[in-house]
Amino acid sequence: MTISNSLARRMLGGAAALALLGAAQIAQAADTIKVGVLHSLSGTMAISETTLKDTVLMMIDEQNKKGGVLGKKLEAVVVDPASNWPLFAEKAEQLLVKDKVAVTFGCWTSVSRKSVLPVFEKNKGLLFYPVQYEGEESSKNVFYTGASPNQQAIPAVDYLMKDIGVKRWVLAGTDYVYPRTTNKILEAYLKDKGVKPEDIMINYTPFGHSDWQSIVSDIKKFGSAGKKTAVVSTINGDANVPFYKELGNQKISAEDIPVVAFSVGEEELAGLDAKPLVGHLAAWNYFQTYSAPANSAAIKTWRAFTKNPKRTFNDPMEATVIGFKLWVEAAEKAKSVDVDKVSESIIGLSVPNLTGGTATMLPNHHITKPVYIGEVREDGQFDIVWKTDKEVPGDAWSDFLDGSKDIEADWVKLKCGNYNTKTKKCSGQNY
């Protein structure tokens, strides 16, 4: 008797609590707009992705101070996919189906993006992806605010070829999809420019590789053939540290064989002794050292938000900021946060980027970006040595790869992410 009685009471209490919770949620949902944040907060990618979560939170905070969007406050829904690719899809599903977020900012690695892509397409979600990537993709439900290869890799190679006079190329990368695709594009591009196959050396190493002695020695030998040599590095993560250390040890200086990296930025250099790296290059669309009023203001806000006067600002963070601003403008313009309406109104919108230019959303869901080349300084920051005259429009499908040359993405006229201009057909998405 007593048992069932207490049980009943507990159940009643539970139901009441649930009802209250539900009511609170409904009340909240009525005057806030939910923004999903899908970045790994634990695991191997946490080092890079946690910063982006904080960037989104900062932007939401700033926007709410200005009165929110369409008169409603923004509310962040932060989930942790834990650097686990299948978990990304699960968490994305949760954000879209359970939390019903209006927009999601998230993903870093290409494999995590590929994992959530079907979820966003199925549930008609909206994802802003803020990291430089290998291209060869354009989804109706994703906006890519990071660089595609023609906004980072190709201009960097052009710089080395024209300004430094590089004749021999080492394409060194970590063994996964981004370096392999980028190097395939670069190889095709270099051959297109008349570089002979024997002047290109391609090398892949596993994640976290630490024994670089024979590879660096090979690079040294390859580079001592009398032609100016450069290394184009798509080496990712902490394998970079022993790589640069070994370069320093074997006395390969940046003057002899410069290394231009696509994945080494301020955040990566903040944790290590940058002395052996001085003079080596990085290609990005943003550098913290760029002097522009918008940049100093953003860095100041960021440092105040994180309460750390030495926090660094980097390229994917700028891309997050741009993506966020674009979404806010598009929502204001469409007078709605409905995914279809925002996706329509965002095309052609321009917002100022942090280096004094503008970022315009193109019909292929990529944006215009300036390209900068920086030389590493002793303090882990970059001296900008070269930049493009104006912003470069992002190209979803590389013009240098067979099979990708004829494909075009246009969500306004063609309403297709991979329209084949030869067969005049849209093949639909293939992930």
Q: What is the three-class DSSP state of 48?
A: helix
In the complex, what is the shortest distance from the CB of residue 263 to another protein, in angstroms, rounded to a whole number? Answer: 15
Task: Name the residues that contact another protein, by CB under 8 A.
Answer: 44, 46-47, 164, 175, 203-206, 208-211, 213-215, 217-218, 224-226, 238, 241-242, 245-246, 248-251, 253-255, 258, 271-273, 278-279, 375, 378, 383, 385
**Is 29 or 225 the residue whose CB approaches another protein more closely?**
225
In the complex, what is the shortest distance from the CB of residue 174 to another protein, in angstroms, rounded to a whole number? Answer: 10
Look up residue 27 and give its two tokens. 């009340």
In the complex, what is the shortest distance from the CB of residue 372 to another protein, in angstroms, rounded to a whole number? Answer: 14
Q: Which helix (H) or strand (E) holds 88?
A: helix 85-93
- DSSP H helical ranges for 259-384: 266-270, 293-306, 315-334, 339-346
Backbone angles phi, psi at 150, to 5 degrees: -75, -5
Gap between the terminal Cα atoms of the chain: 59
In the complex, what is the shortest distance from the CB of residue 251 to another protein, in angstroms, rounded to a whole number? Answer: 5
Chain CA centroid to CA 175, Å: 19
**Is 235 or 349 the residue whose CB approaches another protein more closely?**
235
In the complex, what is the shortest distance from the CB of residue 360 to another protein, in angstroms, rounded to a whole number? Answer: 32
**Is 25 or 213 the residue whose CB approaches another protein more closely?**
213
In the complex, what is the shortest distance from the CB of residue 55 to another protein, in angstroms, rounded to a whole number? Answer: 18
**Is 28 or 224 the residue whose CB approaches another protein more closely?**
224
Contact 134, 177 (CB under 8 A): yes
**Is 69 or 195 the residue whose CB approaches another protein more closely?**
195
- Specify the DSSP class assigned to residue 108: -
- Measured from the Cβ of residue 425, the count of other Cβ atoms closer than 10 Å reads 11
DSSP states along 348-413:
T-EEE-TTSSEEEB-TTSBBEE--EEEEEPTTS-EEEEEE-SSPEEP-SS-SSSTTTTTEEEETTT
**Is 211 or 402 the residue whose CB approaches another protein more closely?**
211
